Amino acid sequence: MKQLITGFLSLLMAGAYAQSGPIKIGEINSYSSMPQFTTPYRQGWQLAVEEINAAGGLLGRKVEVIARDDAGKPEEALRHAVELTSNEKVDVLAGGFLSNVGLALADHAAKNKRLFVASEPLTDAIVWEKGNRYTFRLRPSTYMQAAMLVEEAAKLPAKRWATIAPNYEYGQSAVTSFKALLRAKRPDVEFVAEQWPALGKLEAGTTLQAIMQAKPDAIFNVTFGADLAKLVREGNQRNVFPKTPVVSMLSGEPEYLDVLKDETPRGWIVTGYPWDQIDTREHAAFAANYYKKFNENPKVGSVVGYATMQAIFAAINKAKSTDNEKLVAAMRGLKFSTPFGPAEFRALDQQSTMGAFVGKLDLRGGKGTMVQWRYADGKAYMPRDDYVTARRPAAAMK
């Protein structure tokens, strides 16, 4: 009898600790392989966690983030997801940078019925063909960003288009969406060439030579990071840029402009983040607090990391629980704050309405910047409901 009572008391104490101990968020990202993006990203979520804990935490409990490095490998991300779920007993999973890593984590979330907030992976598949009940995505998808860029691309006189994109899920998804959306607006266009370099292994000279042999009027570019820098340098040397118009996904983000510096190609139409020109109250407060803590200006990664945690915090407050089923219910249609302004998760496909900035690249003081920009609210660039339901599994709708 004494042993039974002792065991019962132990269970009660464990339950009490679970309700009073920290709320745990397991965060998995490519910290070692993509530090240019993920270092600001980590600083962004660190700021959000510091602020919420200073305000008393959530549900009367402190918030603790347990971070893991996936090194850009899906198998590493899965190994960490299992460990965080089984050993650390995290309440929520978040993160992901590369689309193939994000899809692996989404599959883990579905199989283990664990809420996963995909912060960065942009592939459409994560909320459509391979979407599931437990996965929500923060950043505007490849479809949404392609739609933003197509608005501008359709205004160009260009009829013959070429594409350059990394040969994995993100690049393939971006090109597919851009082609379909541009053809819908401009039935007269044709795509005359495409190049699919392996991620991180772009041979810029060979790629541009092959593209320009097709005599395109314009180029759609999806490369980023070191590949983008190689492409720009080679294109500048060959006088491809600015002679040939380019529409480019992500290239206006500070993470990449800081690397390009005075090689930034003028006139490219891009999605990005003109952090130094945004004067909204939400952004000004975020940028000031971020600079105060880290002594540097924010990047897109900073915003994504911060907004990811804001979304999770809002869901927990709405659900008044860390129970995963209650959190999923709370996330559908959830309204939350971001440095770009208010956003929400569309219940239909669990995609956030957080938008992006669209503008042109220019040089100021020997550094790349965005000009003639506008904020594109993600809500305006989501596809119709029937378009989504035709692609998203019925089980993910439940």
pLDDT recorded at residue 370: 98
| 64 burial type by CB count under 10 A (0-12 exposed, 13-18 middle, 19+ buried) | middle
| Beta bridge mates, 27 | 67, 94
CATH topology identical between 2-141+279-354 and 143-276+356-381: yes
In DSSP terms, 187 is beta-bridged to none
Domain boundaries, the chain: 2-141+279-354, 143-276+356-381
State the pLDDT at residue 398.
Answer: 77
Strand 356-364 versus strand 190-195 pairing type: unpaired
The pLDDT tens digits of the residues spanning 244-296 come to 999 999 999 999 999 999 999 999 999 999 999 999 999 999 999 999 999 99
Query: Residue 218: beta bridge partners?
Result: 161
Q: What percent of the chain has pLDDT over 70?
A: 95
pLDDT (0 to 100) of residue 397: 76
Instruction: Please report, rounded to a whole number, the percentage of residues in the chain having pLDDT higher than 90.
Output: 92
CA–CA separation, 119 and 48 (whole Å): 14
CATH fold of 2-141+279-354: Rossmann fold (3.40.50)
What confidence tens digit (pLDDT) does each residue in 36-75 have?
A: 999 999 999 999 999 999 999 999 999 999 999 999 999 9
Residue 72 corresponds to which amino acid?
G
Q: What order do you get walking across the sheet with 23-29 strand by strand?
A: 63-69, 23-29, 92-95, 116-118, 135-137
Tell me what the mean pLDDT of segment 97-118 comes to: 96
| Residue 11: per-residue pLDDT | 41
Under a CB-based contact definition with an 8 Å cutoff, are residues 120 and 96 in contact? Answer: yes
Q: Does domain 143-276+356-381 have CATH number 3.40.50.2300?
A: yes
242 upstream amide cis, omega within 30 of 0: yes
Mean pLDDT of the residues in the chain: 94
HEC per residue, 184-214: HHCCCCEEEEEECCCCCCCCHHHHHHHHHHC
Q: What pLDDT, in 10s, does the model give residues 294-347?
A: 999 999 999 999 999 999 999 999 999 999 999 999 999 999 999 999 999 999
* Count of CA atoms in the C-beta half-sphere (13 A) of 360: 12
pLDDT at 13: 42
Average pLDDT in the 125-133 region? 95
Dihedral sign from CA coordinates of 273, 279, 282, 288: positive
Provide the b/e sequence for 280-299 (b: ≥16 CB within 10 Å).
eeebeebbebbeeebeeebb
CA distance 72 to 98: 7
User: What is the per-residue pLDDT for 20?
Assistant: 72
Q: How far is CA 347 from CA 262, 351, 358, 385, 397, in A?
A: 43, 8, 26, 11, 9
Q: Which has more confidence, 4 or 184?
A: 184
Q: Against a cut of 0.85, is the pTM above it?
A: yes
Give how far Cα 283 sits from Cα of 37, 89, 373, Å.
19, 34, 16
Question: What tokens appear for 32 in the block?
Answer: 């070692």
Residue 398, classed as helix, strand or coil, is coil
Read off the pLDDT of residues 153-169 as tens digits, 9 standing for 90 and up.
Answer: 999 999 999 999 999 98
Q: Residue 357 forms beta bridges with which residues?
A: 272, 375
